[in-house]
Amino acid sequence: MFLCLFSMSIFVSGREIIYPKPESSFDERTRYPVKMLHLAIRKAGQNLVIKPSNKLMTQGRALLQLSKGLDVDVVWTMTSKEREAMLEPIRIPIYKGLIGWRLFLIEQSYEDAFFQAETTFDLKSYRLIQGHDWPDTEILRSNGFDVVGAPYYSTIFDMVVGGRADLFPRSIVEIWDEARIQASKRIVVESNHLVRYPTAFYFFVNKDDRALKKLLEDGLLKAIKDGSFDQMFYEQHQQYLDQADLTNRIIHDLDNPLLPALTPLENKNYWFSIK
């Protein structure tokens, strides 16, 4: 056993860690996960090269390539039963569950109309949009929402502006950068609602890559224990939590039928909550 673990450690120490290249030049969704990846590797006592893949990949493509052991070594994404069957999750939610706390991006002129909605039933009269291969699409549909599935992230904003969808649900940790980048298209954050469902955003590796799984898991656990995980999380996201004004929003709690049974919901250190 000792020799096996030692050889795994040597194997990991001598390798590059490849993650999926962002889908577009304005896509800033990799910024925080890459920082967390660096933190985990550093806390695990390794000094590895982390770099993006040569190829642009949609989320679905990246997951498929990872499952085959091709092009990428690690992907970060929302968990689901299907994804945990295909890939190996590191079950530490890097966004502390906030990936399932959703505000809406809307075309600015529609703000008054959405402000009139009060109940979850009211919201279901509007058309939502998500990536066609995102777990959120199935989660929202299972809760009775009308959801358009878009093939490419970069086209979703134009579809909202063009009236092909009314609401683009985005997590608190994503939405503010997107609203800033898309401001010239009159895309804004709707101010009255929060849709919330339990989920986790994990690092995933190939099923056979036990060495990288152990390294990332050990590093993240050490970061949680010494406080550097929370320090990085709040340094990156406290401003977004403040902007969201959570205590003054109507909260719509939804079910998540895709949530795997092994999701560590009982570990309070892993999750954000409204205090």
H, E, C per residue of the chain: CHHHHHHHHHHHHCCEEEEEECCCCCCCCCHHHHHHHHHHHHHCCCCCEEEEEEEECCHHHHHHHHHHCCCCCCEEEECCHHHHHHCEEECCCCCCCHHHEEEEEEEHHHHHHHHCCCCHHHHCCCEEEEECCCHHHHHHHHCCCEEEEECCHHHHHHHHHCCCCCEEEEEHHHHHHHHHHCHHHCEEECCCEEEECCCCEEEEECCCCHHHHHHHHHHHHHHHHHCHHHHHHHHHHHHHHHHHCHHHCEEEECCCCCCCCCCCCCCHHHCCCCC
* pLDDT tens per residue, range 44-53: 998 899 999 9
For residue 112, what pLDDT is reported?
79
Residue ranges per structural domain of the chain: 2-97+200-244, 99-196
pLDDT over threshold 80, residue 175: yes
For residue 5, what pLDDT is reported?
47
Q: What is the mean pLDDT of residues 96-112?
A: 93
**Distance from C-alpha of 57 to C-alpha of 266, rounded to nearest angstrom:** 34
Are 2-97+200-244 and 99-196 the same fold in CATH?
yes
Question: Are the beta carbons of 204 and 74 closer than 8 angstroms?
Answer: yes
Q: Which amino acid is at 112?
A: D
For residue 25, what pLDDT is reported?
56
**56 or 227, greater pLDDT:** 227
**CATH class of residue range 2-97+200-244:** alpha beta
For residue 115, what pLDDT is reported?
75
**6 or 73, greater pLDDT:** 73
Tell me which residue of 7, 62, 67, 64 sits closest to 30, measured CA to CA. 62
For residue 102, what pLDDT is reported?
97
Confidence of residue 27 (pLDDT cuts 50, 70, 90): low
pLDDT over threshold 70, residue 113: yes
For residue 58, what pLDDT is reported?
83
99-196: CATH architecture: 3-Layer(aba) Sandwich (3.40)
pTM of the model: 0.87
- How far, in whole angstroms, is CA 186 from its chain's centroid? 24
* CB neighbourhood size of 146 (10 A): 14
pLDDT over threshold 60, residue 260: yes
* pLDDT tens per residue, range 187-203: 999 999 999 999 999 99
